[in-house]
Structure 1
Amino acid sequence: MSWFMAFDPTAYTTFSYREYRFSGTRFEATFHFRLSGEAVPDIDFTEKIQFTPGLSERVDTLRLDSLLVLLGAVLGLSYYKLAAPNEYRIDAPGLTEHALDYLALVIQAGMAEFAYRNGLKGPLQPDIVNTAPGVASAWPKSRWREQYGDPIVPIGGGKDSVVSVELLHQHRLHPIQFAVNANPTIRRVALASGHPLVTAQRTIDPRLLELNAEGGKNGHVPVTAMNSLIALCQSRILDGGPVVMSNESSASDETLEVEGWSINHQWSKSWEAERALQDVIGPQAGLSSEHYFSLLRPFSELRIAGAFAKYPQYHRVATSCNRAYRMDAGDVGWCGECDKCRFVYLALSAYLAPGALRAIFGRDLLHESEQIPGYEELLGLARHKPFECVGTEAESMVALSVAARRQEWAGHRVVAHFEDVIPGLADVHEELEHRVWSASADGATLPPAYQEAQGALR
């Protein structure tokens, strides 16, 4: 008979970001964290990130160190959430006041879903206590290439980053694909592009998973904010160009609102999050906003799906299904059972025929009656939009309307069902469709060469 002491989140009152270290010979960063309370033993955590090495004489050490200390503060949220105490203590030196404000925003907005789904009455707003401030207030001009080097493009194996890579390729901007903990899907998509793939390996402390099983709080953390900072560090190590994300306008759409509290599953992919990171890397690391931006920011998921549909070389290798990104997933494709699969299938149905989508997904999701409840959520007809990286309810409605107009989709069970329950589904709804298809005003001012690449999708 086994026995263990259950983890009690309420016993821990302070989370500490203790220190980080970087080995310039191994190109490995190590971060140390601690949970503590008055009547319980401290729990220490260590996380490591192994970067792809660069030429040591070309590493922008000053800026890299300042990015790494900020990265550690955001990575710490994976461990902070075990107890979500009211004090977040920072003992690692080097964070500016701007960085502390950024961390507070990431906790409040980037962990809003975590707070909501763990039964909290409002967003997390811990006291952030910085015991070791100190960063240069004026940054010397860099001798490195910065935004003029080859772009670093984080890829996840799905349609959006495929479109970014292809747009940059078509405009001779030589994208370097980048992934954290690259899985078989990511490597397959990278190979199909013909462009190099650079990786970083993130190793979380195994104690995290053990404590989750013993009663620690669990839930969504702002992974895109973490991976964005990892990519910025990798760019400095490689003397690369800007980090070019593939986040769309739809990511700014909230999942739900509760008594004035906005909760967005995709917050760390939103325009607000992009601007916040652009604003902090200047005072924190001496980098301009042109070092980090999303190429696809003005566009809806539906517009991006249309671009992806034109690249058949990726159709059988790419996947956005979350099952492919579980730690023990192996080499898997679309599951056909999740909200992500349902949405991407619907979005692509506006451009591809049923046979083409069957070849991609291995099944016909719009002909399976059991998918109807899931599509009701995507359309905003039941509950709220799923806690998933999916498009807006308006995009889903427009995509379904387009499918209903196409003879090849009209007889499919899901389409037929919604034609019965949504009056005028197959009609053209000009105002709604204009809103979905048009480029939004959101997005940073890009360097001229990137403006041209983005313009190809406008």
Structure 2
Amino acid sequence: MSTAGPFDPSAYGAFRFDSFSVDESASAVDFTFTLVPREGADASPSSFTERIGFSAPADGVTPDWAAARDILPLLGAVLGLSYYKAAAPPVYEVAVDGLAAEGAAFLEQALRHGLAEFAYRAGLPALLETAVTVTGVPAAPRASVDLKGERLARPLAPVGGGKDSVVTVESLRLAGLDVTQFSVNPNAIMRRVAEAAGLPFVTATRTLDPALFELNTAGALNGHVPVTAMNSLIALAQARLLGLGPVVMSNENSAAEPTLVWDGEPVNHQWSKSLEAEQLLAGAIEAQTGERGAYFSLLRPFTELRIAGKFARTERYDDAIVSCNRAFRLSGAEPGWCGECAKCQFVFLALSPFMSRDRLVGIIGTDMFAKPELADGFASLLGLDAHKPFECVGEEAESTVAMSLAARSPEWWDSAVVKALVERAPELLDGDPAMERSLFADRAATPVPSIYAEARDLLDSGVPL
């Protein structure tokens, strides 16, 4: 599709998920969508096709497309958010068959809360109040059974190149589980981390329709979408295609904290990583597949700060991980840290209580506490003078405790940034024992099968990773 002139989002009254088709020979699925003009509007329908390519089983094993198909109606509905947001019309129609009521309910929440940052930053008047209409034949209700047997011990663990998925993979390994690593559109960083683990690694590809980029250039609305939910469902389809067990995520409890509150409504950059989203998505997956326990986050009871302490127990990945958002771009990634962005700042801050200066600087490539020009950025992580940034960073309380620990540590207290933050908030020198204890205590989490509960326990057992 090519655009002949400016794109007017207000000319569109509905978005439709039209169909999906499986290309078994290519191990791929095509999803089609349409933006539908309002009646009487001077606009043409805008159509899109997105392709998801999956890894086929090795050694001539037949892929289980029947199992994978169960998740495709929900996967397509959530992938459609990338195209829906071009106009954000008041109606989202699901015209495909097979979407369970719980899947439609998850889509409603993804439109409202998964696109909350998009609505806020695009200057829309409020969170989206989109009507979800299912015109296809809904999935028939089915009885659920617990995921068990050989598949239960064969988790698929998505890896993103940072510390969190490293802790998950190593904990699953310690629990004696047969781990397969997974990434969507893996870049050099993800591949390097997967190689450092030395465990099997499978991948999927997501190819957005170029027509979307043309619309963005012509004036379409654009912004943040719940990518974690999309990648989670791609992982689910991949796991079922290969006959693997649960998709085990690395989303931590801290992801539930909103970035800000807008007219009384939470706006959370990490909504699709939150406990609320996990529970809704797990329920939708259970309704689609009839399997209970097929999707959960191993790290859900833990804060980012607690996970940082666990990561510090292994040095295997020091030369591999990167949690820099400037390095992770849609077009690819360079294999290093920028040492300036908010994500780099948070990771440096979170790891600082658990590592020597030499080791941490060796990982990041620069001493970020030695750069006074970064003081304002660190201050925003603590919630001083500004809300925390729209990034995947921890709670303001976590950052406050980490900075307080740094301010009381001979390793860091003479650093320019630490001294600047203490000047702004002298109470950092006193610390807050109650807050510190709360950040290292278990928090609410989705129930998991017992063998995965044991893996969670290893995170606190003192066993070195």
Return the TM-score normalized by structure 2: 0.94
Mapped to 2, the partners of 1:134 and 1:4 lie a distance apart of 38
- Of the three residues 400, 411, 429, the one matched with 1:397 is 400
Runs of 4+ in 1 over 6 A off after TM superposition: 140-144
Mapped to 2, the partners of 1:330 and 1:97 lie a distance apart of 38
Paired positions, count: 454
CA deviation vs aligned residue, 1:414-451 (integer Å, no higher than 9, x gap): 111122221231223111111112121x1122111111
* 2:155 aligned with 1:162: no
Number of the residue aligned with 1:451: 453
* CA gap 1:301/1:141 in 2 versus in 1, 3 angstroms: closer
* 2:291 aligned with 1:279: no
RMSD: 1.8
Describe how 1:204-283 pairs up with structure 2 within 5 A: 204-283=208-287
C-alpha deviation, 1:130, in angstroms: 1.5
* 2:138 aligned with 1:134: yes
Mapped to 2, the partners of 1:377 and 1:143 lie a distance apart of 43
* CA gap 1:58/1:286 in 2 versus in 1, 3 angstroms: farther
* CA gap 1:423/1:141 in 2 versus in 1, 3 angstroms: closer
C-alpha deviation, 1:26, in angstroms: 2.3
Mapped to 2, the partners of 1:265 and 1:141 lie a distance apart of 33
Number of the residue aligned with 1:188: 192
CA deviation vs aligned residue, 1:185-236 (integer Å, no higher than 9, x gap): 0000000001011000100001111211111111000000000000010010
Number of the residue aligned with 1:419: 422
Contact 1:58 1:239 in 2 (8 A): no
C-alpha deviation, 1:182, in angstroms: 0.5
C-alpha deviation, 1:139, in angstroms: 5.2
Number of the residue aligned with 1:429: 432
Mapped to 2, the partners of 1:142 and 1:427 lie a distance apart of 49
The residue type paired with residue 367 of structure 2 is D
C-alpha deviation, 1:60, in angstroms: 4.4
CA deviation vs aligned residue, 1:271-329 (integer Å, no higher than 9, x gap): 000000111122222121x1111000000100111111111121111011112221334
C-alpha deviation, 1:138, in angstroms: 2.5
The residue type paired with residue 87 of structure 1 is V
Contact 2:33 2:48 in 1 (8 A): yes
Mapped to 1, the partners of 2:70 and 2:24 lie a distance apart of 15
Number of the residue aligned with 1:23: 23
Number of the residue aligned with 1:373: 376
Contact 1:88 1:128 in 2 (8 A): yes
Contact 2:408 2:429 in 1 (8 A): yes
Number of the residue aligned with 2:73: 69
Contact 1:145 1:239 in 2 (8 A): no
* CA gap 1:330/1:281 in 2 versus in 1, 3 angstroms: closer
* CA gap 1:141/1:293 in 2 versus in 1, 3 angstroms: closer
* CA gap 1:332/1:291 in 2 versus in 1, 3 angstroms: same
Q: State the SS of the aligned residue for 2:132.
A: strand
Mapped to 2, the partners of 1:224 and 1:388 lie a distance apart of 13
Q: State the SS of the aligned residue for 1:335.
A: coil
Mapped to 1, the partners of 2:144 and 2:254 lie a distance apart of 38
When structure 1 is superposed on structure 2, of 419-428 and 155-164 the one drifting more is 419-428
The residue type paired with residue 177 of structure 1 is Q
Q: State the SS of the aligned residue for 1:166.
A: helix
The residue type paired with residue 445 of structure 1 is P
Question: Structure 1 regions of 5+ residues with no counterpart?
Answer: none
* CA gap 1:35/1:300 in 2 versus in 1, 3 angstroms: same
* 2:35 aligned with 1:32: no
Mapped to 2, the partners of 1:15 and 1:161 lie a distance apart of 35
* CA gap 1:96/1:367 in 2 versus in 1, 3 angstroms: same
Number of the residue aligned with 1:332: 335
The residue type paired with residue 185 of structure 2 is N
Contact 2:10 2:87 in 1 (8 A): yes
Mapped to 1, the partners of 2:286 and 2:157 lie a distance apart of 20
* 2:302 aligned with 1:296: no
The residue type paired with residue 262 of structure 1 is P
Question: Structure 2 regions of 5+ residues with no counterpart?
Answer: 461-465
Return the TM-score normalized by structure 1: 0.95
Mapped to 2, the partners of 1:374 and 1:195 lie a distance apart of 37
* CA gap 1:220/1:232 in 2 versus in 1, 3 angstroms: same
C-alpha deviation, 1:141, in angstroms: 7.1
Mapped to 2, the partners of 1:247 and 1:143 lie a distance apart of 21
Contact 1:75 1:226 in 2 (8 A): yes
* CA gap 1:379/1:129 in 2 versus in 1, 3 angstroms: same
When structure 1 is superposed on structure 2, of 226-235 and 254-263 the one drifting more is 254-263
Contact 1:144 1:239 in 2 (8 A): no
Mapped to 2, the partners of 1:218 and 1:322 lie a distance apart of 18
Contact 2:147 2:291 in 1 (8 A): no
Number of the residue aligned with 2:386: 383
Mapped to 2, the partners of 1:155 and 1:27 lie a distance apart of 21
Mapped to 1, the partners of 2:61 and 2:321 lie a distance apart of 37
Mapped to 1, the partners of 2:191 and 2:159 lie a distance apart of 10
CA deviation vs aligned residue, 1:215-271 (integer Å, no higher than 9, x gap): 111100000000000001001000001100000010011111122211110000000
Q: State the SS of the aligned residue for 1:324.
A: coil
* CA gap 1:20/1:403 in 2 versus in 1, 3 angstroms: same
Q: State the SS of the aligned residue for 2:22.
A: strand
C-alpha deviation, 1:341, in angstroms: 0.3
Contact 1:93 1:134 in 2 (8 A): yes
Mapped to 2, the partners of 1:211 and 1:382 lie a distance apart of 37
* 2:441 aligned with 1:438: yes
The residue type paired with residue 363 of structure 1 is T
The residue type paired with residue 28 of structure 1 is A
Q: Percent identity?
A: 46
The residue type paired with residue 161 of structure 2 is G
Contact 1:250 1:300 in 2 (8 A): yes
Number of the residue aligned with 2:106: 102
